[in-house]
Homo-oligomer: A and B are copies of this chain.
Amino acid sequence: MKKQDVFDSISPIDYRYPDKEVVHYLSENGFTRYKLLVEIALIKTLHKRGICGADVIKEVELACEKVTTEDIYDEEGRIKHDIRALVNCIRDKISKAAKRFVHMMATSFDISDTANAARYKDVTKKILLPKLIKLARVLIEITKREAETKQIGRTHGQHAVPITFGFAIAEYVSRLGKCILSLDKLSDELVGKFSGAVGGYNASSLFFDDPEVFEQEILAELGLKPADHSTQIVQPEPLIRLLCEVVTTAGVLANLSRDMRNLQRTEIGEVGEAFEGDQVGSSTMPQKRNPINFENAESFYTIVMPRIITVFMNQISEHQRDLTNSASARTYGEIFAYVASTAERLTRTMKKLQVDKDNLQRNLAFQQDLIIAEPLYIILAAMGHPDAHEKVRLLTLQAQQKHKPLEKIAIADKEIAPYFEKMTPYQRKTLSNPSTYTGISVEKAKKIAAEWTERLKELEQNIGRGTFPTIPK
C-alpha cells in the first residue's frame, strides 16, 4: 500500500470530509475493484460459452484478489496505459494457459465505463439512497410531531398568513421524496457496454455471430444492461441524468438548510441546532450558537452544483470518442460523496433540531392584526364587494396609522360593517382569531407524512432486492 499523510491531501473530500462507506465505492481503490469485477464477468461469460474452463474463473478471481491499485499504477508508470496495466497485473498472477482469456476481445472502455456504471449504480442504491431515506424519515417524524404547531408563513422574508411548522417541513418530505424515487429510477438506467473500440463489436464479431447477446451476458453478471448503441464509450446521457438528479437533490437539501438557518437567526429563533457539551461557538464570541451544520450543507451545495457544467462539457466527445473527458470524469465520485455527506449531516442535525414554541408563538403574534387582511379581502370580494383589495389596503394603512386592530377598524367602517353580518361563523372566527387561519396545513402535513412513509417503505423493499457481486476484501 502506498501510504501518505492524509493531511497532504489537497481536496477536502479526502482530508476533512471523507466517509468510509463511500470511499469503498468512489476511491481509486473502489474503481479498481469494479474494473476487476468486469474482467471477471468477462471470464465467467467466456466460460458459459465454453471458451474457457471453470478453473480459469477460479484463477482469475484469486488473481484479482491480489491485484492492488499500487501495482497497477507502477505498471502504468512503465507502459503509460491504465487498463493495459491492470490487465498485465492480472495476467502476471495466473497460469500461462489462462492468460489469453483475460481482457479477451475487450477494449479499455468496455471495462472502465462498465465499471463506472456498476459502481455509480451501486453507490446510489447502497449508500446515497439509504442515507436520503433516513433523512426523509427524520423529516417525516418532525412533520408528524409538529403538524399542529402554528407558525407564521413567510414570503419575501415578510410575514404572510399562518401555516404550521409541520406543514413547512412536509414541503421537504415531498420534494426530497420525489428526488429519492427519481434517483432510484435513474440509477437503474445506467448502462454498460462491451461493443469494442468504436462500438461496432468489431472484435467480438470475429468470434461470435451474436456479439450483442454476448455483451448482454457479460453485463447481466453485473446487473447492468447495454445501451442500444455505444461508441468506444457508453452514451453519456444516462449518467448525466443521474448526476442532474443528484445535484437537484443537493438543491433540496440546501433549500431546507437555508430555511433552517434563517429560522435560527437571533431575532427569529424558531429553531436551534442542539449544541454539544464542549463545542466552541466562535473563537472570540463564546456566546454564539452558529448554524454551522446548515451552513455546511449549503456550502457543499456550492461545491457540487457548478460541477454539473463539467458533466455537460463531457457530453461532447468527438466521433467515436475523444479523451477530453478522461480526467474530468474522474471527479464525478466527489459529487456523490459530498451529497451523501450532506444527507448524513442533515440527518444528525435535524434529529436533534430544537423547536422553540415560545418564539414561534411570539413571531406569529408579531403582526397578528395584519394577518387578517388577506381573509378579509377575500371574503369581501367573494361577497361582492366591488373593490375589496383596494379597500382592505386602505383599511390596513388606517389601522397602522391609528395603531388599532384591523378587525376593529373594519367593523367600524360603514361600508364594510354590513358584510360582517352576512359572514359564516367560520369566516367570522377566522377574522377574530387570525392564528386559526392556517387553511388545511395540519391535515396536509399529516397526509404527506403518511403517504411518504408508505412510498419509502415500498421503495426500500425494492432496493433491498437488488443483488450485486462483490469481491471479498
Q: Which of A56-64, A255-263, A349-357, A456-464 contacts its partner?
A: A255-263
User: In residues 258-288 of chain A, which contact B (Cβ within 8 Å)?
Assistant: 258-259, 261-262, 264-268, 276, 278-288
Q: Contact string, A235-261, partner B, CB cutoff 8 A, digits 1/0? A: 111001100110110011011001101
A319 to chain B, nearest CB (A): 4
A 306-338 binary contact with B (CB < 8 Å = 1; else 0): 111110111111111111111110110110010
- Closest B residue to A378 by CB, please name it: B203
Q: Is A157 an interface residue (CB 8 A)?
A: yes
The 7 closest A-B pairs by CB, nearest first: A153-B198, A11-B11, A306-B309, A200-B439, A202-B439, A81-B280, A299-B327
| A168 is an interface residue with CB less than 8 A from chain B | yes
Check: A451 CB closer than 8 A to any chain B CB: yes
- Report how many copies the assembly holds: 4
Q: Is the CB of B318 within 8 A of A154?
A: yes
Q: Is A220 positioned at the interface, with any CB of B under 8 Å from its CB?
A: no
| Cβ contacts under 8 Å, A315 to chain B | 248, 251-252, 254-255
A325-B302 in contact (CB<8A):
yes
Interface residues of A in 1-50 (CB under 8 A from B): 1-18, 22-23, 26-29, 32
Query: Shortest Cβ distance from A312 into chain B, in angstroms?
Result: 5
- Asked if A283 contacts B163 (CB within 8 A), the reply is no
Selected from B244, B296, B308, B448, the residue in CB contact (under 8 A) with A323 is B296
Does any Cβ of B come within 8 Å of A160's Cβ?
Answer: yes
A320 and B155 form a contact (CB under 8 A): yes
A237 touches B378 (CB 8 A): no
Task: Please report the total number of A residues contacting B with Cβ < 8 Å.
Answer: 192
Contact between chains at B4 and A200 (CB < 8 Å) = no
A408 to B5, CA, bound (A): 49
The reply to whether A157 and B265 form a contact with Cβ atoms under 8 Å apart is yes
* Those of A111-166 within 8 Å (CB) of chain B: 153-163
Residue from A15, A96, A262, A375 having most chain B Cβ neighbours under 10 A = A15
User: In this assembly, does A416 line the interface, its C-beta being within 8 Å of a C-beta of chain B?
Assistant: no
Does B282 lie within 8 Å of A81, measured CB to CB? Answer: yes
Assess whether A221 is interfacial by the CB under 8 Å rule.
no
A103 within 8 A of B: yes
Q: Which residue of B lies closest to A159 (CB)?
A: B266
Interchain CB contact (< 8 A) of A367 among B286, B287, B308: B287
Contact, CB under 8 Å: A328 / B299? yes
Residues of B within 8 A of A393 (CB): 280-281, 286-287
Nearest chain B CB to A83 CB, angstrom units: 5
Q: A191 to chain B: closest CB distance in Å?
A: 10
Q: Is the CB of B157 within 8 A of A84?
A: no
CB atoms of B440 and A389 under 8 A apart: no
Q: A279-B81, A367-B287, A396-B287 are in contact. Are A317 and B10 (CB under 8 A)?
A: no
- Shortest distance between the CB of A304 and any CB in chain B (Å): 9
Question: In this complex, which of A73, A229, A289, A291 has the most chain B Cβ atoms within 10 angstroms of its Cβ?
Answer: A229
Which among B14, B106, B290 is the interface contact of A10 at CB below 8 angstroms? B14
- A430: contacting residue among B206, B327, B367, CB under 8 A: B206
Q: Is A402 an interface residue (CB 8 A)?
A: no
The reply to whether the CB of A292 lies closer than 8 angstroms to some CB of chain B is yes
Known: A11-B9, A174-B235, A437-B202. A382 touches B153 (CB 8 A): no
The answer to whether B103 touches A206, judged by C-beta atoms less than 8 angstroms apart, is: no
Contact A200 B381 (CB under 8 A): no
Task: Given the known inter-chain contacts A157-B262, A198-B153, A303-B328, please indicate yes or no for A378 contacting B284, CB distance below 8 A.
Answer: yes
Q: Which residues of B contact A14 (CB under 8 A)?
A: 9-11, 14
Given contacts A11-B13, A303-B328, 12 further A-B contacts (CB under 8 A): A8-B28, A9-B11, A10-B27, A155-B282, A156-B288, A157-B266, A157-B322, A202-B375, A251-B316, A300-B328, A302-B310, A305-B309
Contacts of A29 in B (CB 8 A): 5, 7-8
| A388 surroundings in chain B (CB, below 8 A) | 100
For residue A344, CB closer than 8 A to chain B, the reply is: no
List residues of A (154-196) whose CB comes within 8 Å of B's CBs. 154-163, 167-168, 170-171, 173-175, 178-179, 182, 196
